[in-house]
Amino acid sequence: MSQASQHSDLPTGPFSGVDLSCLLKKTTLESEVVFEADARALEQYGSGMTFEEQDGRTVAVTEDGFLLRFTAKLSPGAHAFLLPGHGPDRERTGTFQLLIDGTPVRFPIGLLGKPLMIPSTAFHISEARDYEFVLNPDGEPGSVITGMRIERRSVKVNRPPMREDLLGKHPRLYFTDDDLDTLRARLDNPRVGLFYKLPPPLTEKPPPFQTGEGVRNDLPWLNFNDHALACLLEPTDERLAGVLEWLEMAATYPAMGASLGAGYFMESVGMAYDWMYPTMSDELREGVCGTIARQCEGILPLSMEGRDGSGGCFQAHRCWFANMALALGAAAIYEDVPEAEQWLAWGLDRLERIVMSASPDGGWHEGPGYWGFGIPRLFIFTDIYERCSGLQIPAGDDFFRRQTEWRAQHMFPGLKLTAAFGDVGRNAEPPDTKTLLWGAKRYQDPVAMGMAEAMNQGPCSDAFNFLWLDEDLPSPAPQEAAPLMSRFDDIGMVLARTSWEDDATYFAITSHPLGGQLQARLNVEQKFPGGCFHGHPEQGHFILFGRGQELAGDPGYSIKKLTINHNTILVDGKGQYADGEGWPGPNAARAEIADAVTDGDITIATADATKAYPPELGLTRFERTMVLAGPDIVLVYDRLAAEEPRTFIWNLHHYGDPPTDVSPEDGVATFVKGEARMDIAALAPSNARMTVAPFDCADSYPPNCEQEPQHLVQLHHEPTTEGSFLVAILIGDKGTTPPKIDHASDELCDTLRIGDTLIAFNRGDSEMSVTTPWGEELATSARALVASDSNGKRRVVTLPGA
C-alpha cells in the first residue's frame, strides 16, 4: 500500500493578484493506492497484448481479444480506476469499459492519442469486500498501456464549510424561519407581482422512477421547489399534502449519477428537503435524506476525476450542474449525514476553481443556448458557497457582473430572438427573467434591472424569480441606459446596435481561441483539459440583423463544426482549426478582437483571425474590419495575405428566400425578407467572382433546412499572396431603392461615399487623406474612419491604426 496527498488546485499562473490562501486551506484531496500493476504484471490478469520497450520502460500494446480480469478488496468510499497510456496514435482514441461485479461503470475510459491527464474512471463503493473487475476494449486494438491502479479518494476538510450560526437550523438555504414573515409580506408588493405569482397547489401525482435508455426522470421535478417555497409563503393543508406526497416518492429514487437530470432533481429535492424539514415526519426525513445522500455518493468520485461529463473543464456547464448538485445536497443534509461535511467542502472547492477560471470580462464560450440552463445552476452554486461558508467567492465577480449585459447583447432588436453564436438553436427565445434578476440584485445594477424588466415575460411561479428579485431597485429602460456596443475581449466578441428600439440595425463579430483567451492559456500552455467542446471554427464570423429580420446568420447548433457554415474566410476552400470536428478539443489556434470603437449609432471593430488557421495553409494575415454606420450601412473590409498564392473565399449565409436580383458579374445581390431589403455589393477586388446558391444545412441541430431555406453568397478571390475584400451591405425597406455608392481606391486607402456618410479604410499603416461630406480635409493613420453629416450633426469616428 502507498499513501499520497495533494492539493487539487489549478495552476496559479493565470491568476496573479488572486489570494489563494483561502482556497488552499479549504480541502485536501487524499489518495490511497489500494491496487496496482505495472505493464508487465498485466499479463497475469488477462490476455490479448504484447509487450514493448518505449521511452525506457515496458508497455503493453493491446491486440484483438484483449481482456483483463482481477479481484481487489475495497473499502467504502470514492474510488478511481486509472489506466495510464495513450491511444493507437495521435489521432485515434482507445476506449475501454470497466465492469465491477458485472455492472458497467457509467463512464468508459478513453486513451487519447495525446492525453492531457491520466485516463481514468470513477465509482463509489458502499461496503467493504472483494470485487471482481473486468476491463474490456470498446474499439480497435493498438492502445499503449503502462499500468493500472485503483485509488481510494477522500477529502480532508481543513476549514468547516458550514457557518456555525446555520447549524441545527432548517430552513437555512436562502432564508431561515426568522425571515418568513418578511418574505410573506413581499407578496403584497405590486412590483413583486410583476415578476412572481404563487403556483396553484400541487395536485398531480408524483411519478415513480423509470428505467430505460433516454428516460428523463428529472423532468417532472423541474418545478418542485417552486411548490415547496409556496408552502412556506402561503401555508395551506392542500399545498402541504401535495409536496409531502412528492417527497415520499423522492425517497424511493436511486442514485442518478452526474447527469444534467441529476442536477435538476437535486436542485428541487435538496431545496425542498431543507425548506420542508420542520413539516416532515422523522421517517420521511430519513427517506429523502437517503436519496440525497445516494446522489452525493455517486457524484463525488466522478467530480474528483473530472468524469462529471465536463471532460475536466471547470467552464463546462456539466461541471456546474454536477458540483452544484453535490454542494446543494450536502448543504441540505449537513449534520444528518457525517459525510456531508466532505461533500460540501469538496463542492465549495470546485466552485472556487470555476470562478477562478471564468472569463475575466463576462463572456462564456458555450454560447447563449447553454447559458440559459447552465448559468442559473452557477448562480445557485455561488449562493450556496457564500451562504454556507460565510465567505465571498475568491474571484469571479468580473465574470458575473456582466452576465446580464452579455446575454442581453445577444438579443436581436425587439428582444424576442437570440443571435445564434455557438451551440444554440436558431430562433432561440429570450432568457428566463430570473437569470437577469440575479446580477441586478447582487451588484445593485439598475441597468441590469431595466433589462430584466424589458424582457420580463410576465409573472411566473419560479422560486428564483422571487428569491433573486430586488423590487426596490430602479429599472431604467434599455433605451435610456444600456450601452449600444459591448466588447468582450476574452471570448472575442463585439456586439453593437444603432439603438435599443425594435427597428434598430444590429451586428456582432467574433474572433477568439476556442474557449476564450484564458481557457486557451490553461488548455495549451498549462496542459489544462477541456474548455471548448461547444466552440465553432468561426473566427472573423459576423451576424447581421436589420428592419426586424436576421439578414446574415449563423447555423447555430451543428453536429459537425465547419468553417464554411459561418460568415468568414476559406483559404483554398479549407477552414480553421477544429474544422470538421464534432466536439472540438484544445488546439493552437489564436484569434482576437484587435480593437473597437463606438459613437452613437456608429461602431467600428477589427478582428484578427490570422492564427485561427492551421500553419499548412500559410496564412499570414486575416484582419476583418466591420463598420456599422447608422441603420442603413454596414461595411466589411478584409486584409488577407499568405506565404504563397492562395484562393480566398468570402462567405455570407442568408436564411430566407433566394435573392430577388443577382448580378454575379457586377458582384451584386439583393435579398428581401419580410419588410427588409439587403443589398450586397462587392467593391473589391474588382475581379471577384460572386456565386449565390442554396446551402445544405442538414448537419445543423435541429436541421435548419426544415425551418427556412438557406443561401450562401460567396466571393472568390483569384490566387494571390496579398489581397482584400471590400463589401458594402445596404439595409433598407422592402420596395425601396438602395442609395448610390461612390467608391474610390488608391494605394493608401479605400473610400466610399454613401449619401451623407463617408467611410475610409487604410490599406496599410501609412497616413491617408480623406475629404469629409462637409468638405474638410483630414489626414489620419487610423485603421478606419467614418464621417457622417446627418440630422444636423457632424461626426468623425476613427479606429486607431494597428
* Per-residue H/E/C for 591-629: CEEEEEEEECCEEEEEEECHHHCCHHHCEEEEEEEEEEE
The whole-number pLDDT of residue 701 equals 67
The interaxial angle of helices 317-333 and 340-356, nearest 10 deg, is 150
Name the amino acid, one letter, at 600: G
User: Do residues 519 and 357 make contact, with C-beta atoms less than 8 angstroms apart?
Assistant: yes
Give 744's contacts (C-beta < 8 A, 6+ positions apart). Answer: 750, 751, 752
H or E segment to which residue 668 belongs = strand 668-673
The whole-number pLDDT of residue 115 equals 66
The whole-number pLDDT of residue 630 equals 97
User: How far is it, in rounded angstroms, from Cα 283 to Cα 248?
Assistant: 10
The whole-number pLDDT of residue 665 equals 87
User: How far is it, in rounded angstroms, from Cα 443 to Cα 445?
Assistant: 5
The whole-number pLDDT of residue 559 equals 84
- The whole-model pTM stands at 0.94
Which residue in 475, 477, 469, 482 sits closest to 432, CA to CA?
Answer: 469
Give 185's contacts (C-beta < 8 A, 6+ positions apart). Answer: none
Q: Which three cell numbers stand for residue 360?
A: 475575466
User: How far is it, in rounded angstroms, from Cα 457 to Cα 577?
Assistant: 40
Cis previous bond, 208, omega within 30: no
User: Do residues 277 and 171 make contact, with C-beta atoms less than 8 angstroms apart?
Assistant: yes
User: How far is it, in rounded angstroms, from Cα 100 to Cα 423?
Assistant: 36
E-strand ranges in 419-536 read 485-488, 493-497, 506-510
User: How far is it, in rounded angstroms, from Cα 591 to Cα 767?
Assistant: 26
User: How far is it, in rounded angstroms, from Cα 461 to Cα 729?
Assistant: 45
Please, is 19 exposed, middle or buried when counting C-beta atoms within 10 Å of its C-beta (0-12, 13-18, 19+)?
Answer: exposed
Q: Which residue's entry shows cell 458550514?
A: 162
User: DSSP readout, 546-577?
Assistant: ETTEEEE----SBSS--GGGSSSEEETTB--T
The whole-number pLDDT of residue 381 equals 98
Alpha helices in 390-432 (DSSP H): 397-401, 403-408
- Work out whether strand 793-799 and strand 784-790 pair parallel, antiparallel, or are unpaired: antiparallel
Measured over the CA atoms of residue 302, residue 308, residue 314 and residue 320, the dihedral's sign is negative
User: How far is it, in rounded angstroms, from Cα 733 to Cα 736?
Assistant: 6
Q: What's 524's DSSP letter?
A: I
Count CB neighbours of 6 within 10 A: 9
304 HSE (CA, 13 A, CB side)? 33
Residues 296-314, buried b or exposed e (16+ Cβ, 10 A)? Answer: bbbbbbbbbbbbbbbbbbb
- The rounded average pLDDT for each run of 10 residues, N- to C-terminus, in the chain (802 residues) is 32 35 65 95 95 93 96 96 90 90 91 77 96 94 95 93 97 98 98 98 96 90 97 98 98 92 95 98 98 96 88 89 97 97 95 91 92 96 97 93 96 95 85 97 98 96 98 97 97 97 97 90 68 87 97 88 95 95 83 97 98 97 98 98 98 94 92 97 94 82 66 96 98 96 94 97 94 96 96 93 82
User: How far is it, in rounded angstroms, from Cα 140 to Cα 220?
Assistant: 41
Beta bridge partner(s), residue 81: 121, 150
The whole-number pLDDT of residue 47 equals 95
User: How far is it, in rounded angstroms, from Cα 750 to Cα 773?
Assistant: 16
User: How far is it, in rounded angstroms, from Cα 210 to Cα 683?
Assistant: 62
Beta bridge partner(s), residue 650: 569, 715
Please, is 214 exposed, middle or buried when counting C-beta atoms within 10 Å of its C-beta (0-12, 13-18, 19+)?
Answer: exposed
> How far is the first Cα of the chain from the last one, in angstroms, to the nearest whole number?
60
Q: Which three cell numbers stand for residue 495?
A: 456586439
Grouping H, G, I as helix, E, B as strand and the rest as coil, residue 569 is: strand
User: How far is it, in rounded angstroms, from Cα 199 to Cα 182?
Assistant: 19
Q: Which three cell numbers stand for residue 83?
A: 489506466
Q: What's 219's DSSP letter?
A: G
Count CB neighbours of 650 within 10 A: 22
Count CB neighbours of 63 within 10 A: 14
Grouping H, G, I as helix, E, B as strand and the rest as coil, residue 220 is: helix
Q: Which three cell numbers stand for residue 160?
A: 468547516
Residues 707, 711, 714: CA angle, nearest 5 degrees: 155
User: How far is it, in rounded angstroms, from Cα 475 to Cα 308?
Assistant: 39
User: How far is it, in rounded angstroms, from Cα 345 to Cα 377?
Assistant: 18
Count CB neighbours of 645 within 10 A: 13
User: How far is it, in rounded angstroms, from Cα 47 to Cα 749?
Assistant: 71
Beta bridge partner(s), residue 432: none
The whole-number pLDDT of residue 18 equals 37
Measured over the CA atoms of residue 55, residue 57, residue 61 and residue 67, the dihedral's sign is negative
User: Do residues 265 and 295 make contact, with C-beta atoms less than 8 angstroms apart?
Assistant: yes
| HEC sequence for 709-765 | CEEEEEEECCCEEEEEEEEEEEEEECCCCCCCEEEEECCCEEEEEECCEEEEEECCC
